[in-house]
């Protein structure tokens, strides 16, 4: 049952009333440089803020051995001693509505060369309707929206009439293991919302992602005898060209995959890092490069990985010295499958009503060729996950920014969703 017009307006007004405080909260969270392995201080901040609000708190370090057996696990080469998740649980006096996970990731991507930013990336800067900073859009503004949506209801004297989990997870930018660890710890619900920066829209489907490293060995000689050696860097170029061919072949298959037929280029391959050689006057004996490639929903990560290995083997067969010394392929991060959010769920219908009330326009959905933690809930939790969030620009780039008016409307949508989905009880 939808909310009354009177209650709807009261909730939106309560969001408006608390929005300057919400911006300040987002700025405070944005000051923590929560790069991979450095998220602990940001998680401490969120732990304390949720505890102050009356949530029952759970803060734990992810143990790889607890999750590596799961099909959704992504392999890692890094130390997890600082991989910390935080979950706050808010329970009603009596469970009357449907439960909800409000999820967000606190980890951010590296900031890149500082001189390419207009202002320091971890010193959030407000300029008119925009808030700037690394991770501000992706997705600390979303974490704040989750928290302040519940705060708005509290301001009116209400709390959800069903259990709500506030999740702040790590590893979203590299493995997805943070959200998986939370699920395997028992945190699941009747629906989930992840306010990623999705331009005021709902994600209908998204690709899976594989990360892998290709390691090439050559034969070092002095450059005066270069013709007798085997240049590992030049061989790597040939392997990269071969992977571009695989990318093209997978894109040619888009017509076989629902929701991806009309995308220009759903499968994106990227060489994100490369290193090789030891000396300018020596033919390089080694080269390795790190890659990312997408895969369609329904494609098993293990099957895609085997196809990558087989393809590189065929390419190597055409390079004399690699034919006898094939490259090594190491999967070392995302090993994640894509998902489709099926249409017609009660959760989506509820979100559509809340969005209409907040934005005064129908909810749109779209397909994204990037990774989302929504896959953990949809595939492994069998939970409808609504990835829906504010308008942003330059995520993962320089001068990353989020539109504040959009953040306010998204917060209103989430608050209205909670009120209808979970129900309300007086505090």
| Residue whose token pair is 């990560």 | 301
Residue 8 pLDDT exceeds 90: yes
Average confidence (pLDDT) over 233-243: 94
Average model confidence (pLDDT) across the chain: 95
Residue 412 pLDDT exceeds 90: yes
Q: What angle do CA 418, 391, 381 make, to 5 degrees?
A: 45
Model-wide pTM > 0.85 = yes
Residue 224 pLDDT exceeds 80: no
Element (H, E) at 362: none
Q: What angle do CA 100, 102, 103 make, to 5 degrees?
A: 135
Q: What angle do CA 198, 203, 209 make, to 5 degrees?
A: 95
3-class SS at 54? Answer: coil
Domains of the chain plus CATH, in order, are 5-206+339-426 (3.40.630.10), 208-336 (3.30.70.360)
Distance, CA of 270 to CA of 290 (rounded, Å)? 8
Distance, CA of 131 to CA of 295 (rounded, Å)? 33
Which pair of structure tokens corresponds to residue 400? 């990353």
Q: What is the pLDDT of residues 203-220, one digit of tens each?
A: 999 999 999 999 998 765
The model's confidence at residue 227, banded by pLDDT at 50, 70 and 90, is: very low
Give residue 215's pLDDT.
Answer: 96
Cβ atoms within 10 Å, residue 256: 10
Torsion of CA 304, 375, 183, 389, to 10 degrees: 150
Distance, CA of 141 to CA of 146 (rounded, Å)? 9
Q: What is the pLDDT of residues 118-145, one digit of tens each?
A: 999 999 999 999 999 999 999 999 999 9
Per DSSP, what are the bridge partners of residue 295?
208
Percent of the chain predicted with pLDDT > 90: 91
């Amino acid at each position: 049952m939808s909310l009354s017009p009177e209650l709807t307006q009261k909730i939106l007004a309560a969001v408006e009333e608390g929005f300057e405080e919400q911006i300040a909260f987002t700025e405070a969270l944005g000051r923590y440089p929560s790069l991979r392995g450095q998220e602990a201080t940001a998680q401490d901040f969120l732990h304390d803020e949720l505890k102050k609000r009356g949530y029952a708190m759970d803060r734990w370090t992810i143990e790889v051995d607890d999750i590596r057996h799961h099909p959704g696990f992504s392999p890692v080469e890094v130390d997890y001693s600082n991989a910390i998740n935080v979950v706050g649980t808010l329970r009603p006096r009596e469970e009357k509505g449907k439960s909800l996970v409000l999820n967000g990731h606190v980890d951010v991507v590296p900031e890149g060369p500082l001189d390419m930013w207009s202002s320091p990336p971890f010193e959030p800067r407000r300029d008119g309707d925009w808030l700037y900073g690394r991770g501000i859009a992706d997705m600390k503004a979303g974490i704040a929206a989750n928290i302040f949506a519940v705060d708005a209801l509290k301001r009116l004297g209400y709390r959800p009439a069903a259990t709500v989990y506030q999740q702040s997870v790590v590893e979203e930018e590299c493995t997805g293991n943070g959200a998986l660890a939370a699920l395997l710890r028992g945190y699941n619900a009747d629906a989930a919302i992840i306010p990623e920066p999705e331009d005021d829209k709902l994600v209908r489907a998204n690709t899976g992602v594989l990360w892998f490293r290709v390691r090439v060995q050559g034969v070092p000689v002095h450059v005066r005898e270069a013709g007798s050696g085997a240049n590992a860097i030049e061989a790597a170029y040939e392997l990269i060209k071969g992977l571009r061919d695989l990318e093209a072949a997978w894109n040619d298959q888009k017509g076989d995959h629902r929701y991806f037929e009309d995308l220009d280029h759903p499968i994106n391959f990227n060489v994100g890092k490369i290193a090789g050689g030891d000396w300018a006057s020596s033919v390089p004996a080694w080269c390795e490069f790190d890659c990312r490639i997408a895969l369609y929903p329904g494609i098993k990560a293990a099957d895609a990985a085997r196809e990558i290995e087989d393809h590189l083997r065929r390419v190597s067969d055409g390079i004399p010295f690699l034919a006898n010394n094939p490259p090594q392929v190491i999967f070392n991060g995302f090993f994640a499958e894509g998902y489709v959010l099926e249409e017609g769920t009660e959760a989506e219908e509820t979100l559509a009503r809340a969005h209409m009330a907040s934005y005064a326009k129908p909810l749109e959905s779209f397909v994204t060729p990037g990774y989302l933690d929504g896959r953990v809930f949809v595939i492994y939790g069998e939970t409808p996950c609504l990835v829906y969030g504010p308008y942003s620009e330059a995520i993962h780039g320089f001068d990353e920014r989020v539109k504040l008016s959009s953040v306010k409307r998204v917060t209103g949508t989430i608050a209205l969703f909670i009120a209808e989905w979970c129900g309300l009880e007086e505090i």
